[in-house]
Chains A and B, each alone.
Chain A
Amino acid sequence: MGEAVTIKRENNIKLESFIKNYLNPKYVFLPIDEGYKLRVIDNSYVYKNDIVMFTDKGKSVHSSVSGRVLGIKDMLYSNGVKKSSLVIENDLKENVRVRKSAKKYIDNYDKESFLQMLDDTSFKYRNKYVVQKFLENKRILLINGIELEPYFANKYFELLENADIILETIDLLSNIFHFEKTVLAIKNNSSDIINNFMNELGTYPNIDLKLMGDAYPNGMDDYLKKILELDDPLILSIEEVLGIYHILKKQVPVSEKLVTITGNAVNPKCVIKVKLGSLLSEVFINNFDFTEKSVVVYLNGNMTGRVVDTLKFVIDSTVDGIVVMKKSVKQVEDCISCGLCFKCCPMGLNPKYVFDHLGNVKGEYKEGCLQCGLCNYVCPSNIDLKSYMNGSEKN
């Protein structure tokens, strides 16, 4: 198994030190997944947090804005798939049907009420219901606070501003589910974040803080649990922990998220808070500019993400940001059999072997590939090994 690699960042890519807000999109788009039935009709008015669609199993989708339902339209999502989506025109009033007051403390939840609350709000992260994770009866809790992508800083800001909230929520989870071990992993390169956590950690002796190097792919769940030698933990990201806190405290679904827009061909470079369901192109046009005529846009980062030719994506929990880089010609050369891809692979796989066979190998040679893109990064011949590992090159 290869060791994590320090990714060389371009010196001129520096993010603003504050979070920008764009919480008034003109439209929001809510995907109509299989099994969902609409609860609203065209031209009807919806309040913020209203249920706009639901399943027979009790799952629901809430509106992140108040406004008028315009109808259904096919929209593109970050996985490249078009989905029918409910279009809501934002009236910018943030009207809510019932204004609930936030709870003073969150520690009065027991297991049943906690799960019920997550279920009621249908809290989804990366297209998975978070409540399902808690039903798996895991004995170890691992909170992943490590940013995976080298140019992104969503987790940095979340950790910097919410140390007390994060620890309080982790402590609550630990108490509700009686985890044998609770680990919070963060990067060791920000003294501000470390100090914030160290100041608060004294009151939470059950939380084990692990400081990890600023290396790639430490932020990947499967790799992180492997290097921390944790056997089958329940892994939550910082976004999920903050989402849980938000739901428990305010008793309403999560409707906002942080997105990083950065790269050497965009200005400004910053983390921006947006509404879930906003269109990425709208966010970009109203806040950012390309600084170069010819650019390459990596959706969700230049390591794990993919190159896209449009920004007309709906922002859901799977969108973490974009990296806009000046277009440069990378000449692909013959494989020189250096073996760097094999040596650095965090899962100990052999991308060179798969490449030699043009991807036509048994699944077991690719099984466990994290799609971290480290093989591409280290390849001196610029070969897109990742595409051979995920089979897209073969296709």
Chain B
Amino acid sequence: MSKRGLAKRLYTMYGIALIPLLMFGIYKNGIQLYDKGYVNVWGMIKPVILISMAICGSVAGTLLKNYRQKKIIDLESMNKCKKGIIEALLLSFVLPIKSSPLILFVVTFLFNLFKENTKINKVAIMYIVMQLLNVLLGLNTFSNPYEVNTTLNYDGIDLFLGFGTGGICSTPVVFIILGLIILCFNSLYKKDMVISAIITFLILGIVPRMITSHYGEIFPLIFGYNILYVFVFIFPNLYSSSYTTKGQILSGIILAILTYFFVMITPYNAAMLSVILVSLIRGICDRLFVIKLRSR
């Protein structure tokens, strides 16, 4: 089979895989809150506004960049926006609902204006920048108004269905798994690294708690903190992740271990910080196996 256009198809599949998450996020952090009287109409549509601003920032940045280079906005530059839109979706889905739409617009605009393909995961960097700004402005809490005002005691099923605390659209584990299945149909999707990361994290999350009988901590850890979302959608970035199969498996294992330890320090940012660190060492992961090839 010809591989031409596979990259474009991967972005399309990302778009399809993200639709259920988007729907659920709009319901959980918009419609549901409005129904229960926690937010006004503005609050109800805030998830849509945040996502739209991220997309607008990304498109504007990409088009301006192309215009600066070619002095023309053509179909090709519109095509280039596709990747930026997916990155904007991925970023906005994992941010706290309290984030500022204006700041999100500025961040996505600037990153797309100055950086196209980075060796370090671009979505993860944008996320960390956003979170730093959110911390400065006091907007970094992931709980929505309902979660802030209610004492919640979710069980494993609730967390699996996505009713736990997390990013705007990054909580429903069931839809994340569905997205993983969809993406696995594209041969460019680096499923090896995702699967190795998930398996390692499950082992690390479950085994010690089984031994110490802390069963109640298992589901909040493995289904919470946006971890699975980051593993499935953000970690296997084409440009900033390993390309050898063994390198991918190794990266996945390292990512899971780093995330496991970072969760103890900064739970919601653990996976993103780990993604950045792993993308920094991806070259070493690949090189280990390239060098082995020499001795064949």
Q: Do A and B come from one complex?
A: yes
What is the interface of chain A, defined by CB distance below 8 A to chain B?
5-6, 8, 334, 336-340, 342-343, 348-350, 352-353, 362, 364-365, 377-382
Instruction: Provide 30 A-B residue pairs closer than 8 Å at the C-beta atoms, listed in order of the A residue.
Output: A8-B1, A8-B2, A334-B116, A334-B117, A334-B239, A336-B117, A337-B238, A337-B239, A337-B241, A337-B243, A338-B7, A338-B243, A339-B248, A340-B3, A342-B243, A350-B293, A353-B290, A362-B294, A364-B294, A365-B290, A365-B293, A377-B2, A378-B3, A379-B3, A380-B3, A380-B4, A380-B6, A380-B7, A380-B188, A381-B7
B52 interface residue (CB < 8 Å to A): no
**Is there contact, CB below 8 Å, between B293 and A336?**
no
B245 interface residue (CB < 8 Å to A): yes
B244 interface residue (CB < 8 Å to A): yes
**Closest B residue by C-beta to A349:** B293
Main secondary structure of the interface of B (DSSP, over half): loop
Binary per-residue interface labels of chain B (181-192) against chain A in the complex, 1 for a CB within 8 Å, 0 otherwise: 000000110100
Q: Which residues of A have CB within 8 Å of B188?
A: 336, 338, 340, 380
Q: Which residues of B have CB within 8 Å of A379?
A: 3
Q: Which residues of B have CB within 8 Å of A348?
A: 293, 296
Binary per-residue interface labels of chain B (63-81) against chain A in the complex, 1 for a CB within 8 Å, 0 otherwise: 0000000000000000000
**Is there contact, CB below 8 Å, between A352 and B243?**
yes
Max chain B Cβ within 10 angstroms of own Cβ: one of A336, A349, A352: A336
Main secondary structure of the interface of A (DSSP, over half): loop
Q: Which residues of B have CB within 8 Å of A381?
A: 7
10 extra A-B contacts, CB within 8 A, seeds A334-B117, A338-B188, A340-B188: A334-B239, A336-B117, A337-B238, A338-B243, A339-B244, A349-B293, A364-B294, A365-B294, A377-B3, A378-B3
Q: How far is the CA of A381 from the CA of B7 in the complex (A)?
A: 9
**Closest A residue by C-beta to B188:** A338
Q: Which residues of B have CB within 8 Å of A377?
A: 2-3
Binary per-residue interface labels of chain B (138-153) against chain A in the complex, 1 for a CB within 8 Å, 0 otherwise: 0000000000000000
Q: How far is the CA of A334 from the CA of B115 in the complex (A)?
A: 13
Q: Which residues of A have CB within 8 Å of B242?
A: 339
Q: Which residues of B have CB within 8 Å of A339?
A: 190, 242-245, 248
Chain B nearest CB from A127 CB (Å) reads 29
Q: How far is the CA of A380 from the CA of B293 in the complex (A)?
A: 24
The 7 closest A-B pairs by CB, nearest first: A339-B243, A336-B238, A378-B3, A337-B243, A8-B2, A338-B188, A380-B6
Q: Which residues of A have CB within 8 Å of B1?
A: 5-6, 8
What is the interface of chain B, defined by CB distance below 8 A to chain A?
1-7, 116-117, 187-188, 190, 238-245, 248, 286, 290, 293-294, 296
**Is there contact, CB below 8 Å, between B3 and A350?**
no
Q: How far is the CA of A382 from the CA of B1 in the complex (A)?
A: 15
Chain A nearest CB from B250 CB (Å) reads 14
Chain B nearest CB from A249 CB (Å) reads 44
Candidates A6, A338, A352, A382; contact of B238 at CB < 8 Å: A338
Q: How far is the CA of A342 from the CA of B286 in the complex (A)?
A: 11
Chain A nearest CB from B282 CB (Å) reads 8
Chain B nearest CB from A2 CB (Å) reads 11
Q: How far is the CA of A379 from the CA of B3 in the complex (A)?
A: 7
Q: How far is the CA of A61 from the CA of B137 in the complex (A)?
A: 87
**Is there contact, CB below 8 Å, between B7 and A336?**
yes
**Closest A residue by C-beta to B8:** A380
Chain A nearest CB from B278 CB (Å) reads 14
**Closest A residue by C-beta to B286:** A353
Q: Which residues of B have CB within 8 Å of A342?
A: 243-244
**Closest B residue by C-beta to A382:** B4
Q: Which residues of B have CB within 8 Å of A349?
A: 293
Max chain B Cβ within 10 angstroms of own Cβ: one of A334, A337, A353, A377: A337
Chain A nearest CB from B98 CB (Å) reads 34
Q: How far is the CA of A339 from the CA of B251 in the complex (A)?
A: 14
Q: Which residues of A have CB within 8 Å of B117?
A: 334, 336
**Closest B residue by C-beta to A352:** B243
**Closest A residue by C-beta to B117:** A334
Q: How far is the CA of A350 from the CA of B290 in the complex (A)?
A: 7
Chain A nearest CB from B183 CB (Å) reads 13
Q: How far is the CA of A340 from the CA of B188 in the complex (A)?
A: 8
Q: How far is the CA of A53 from the CA of B245 in the complex (A)?
A: 55
Q: Which residues of A have CB within 8 Å of B241?
A: 337
**Closest B residue by C-beta to A347:** B296
Q: Which residues of A have CB within 8 Å of B293?
A: 348-350, 365
**Closest A residue by C-beta to B237:** A337
**Is there contact, CB below 8 Å, between A336 and B239?**
yes
Chain A nearest CB from B117 CB (Å) reads 6
Q: How far is the CA of A381 from the CA of B59 in the complex (A)?
A: 22
Q: How far is the CA of A250 from the CA of B100 in the complex (A)?
A: 88
Q: Which residues of A have CB within 8 Å of B190?
A: 339
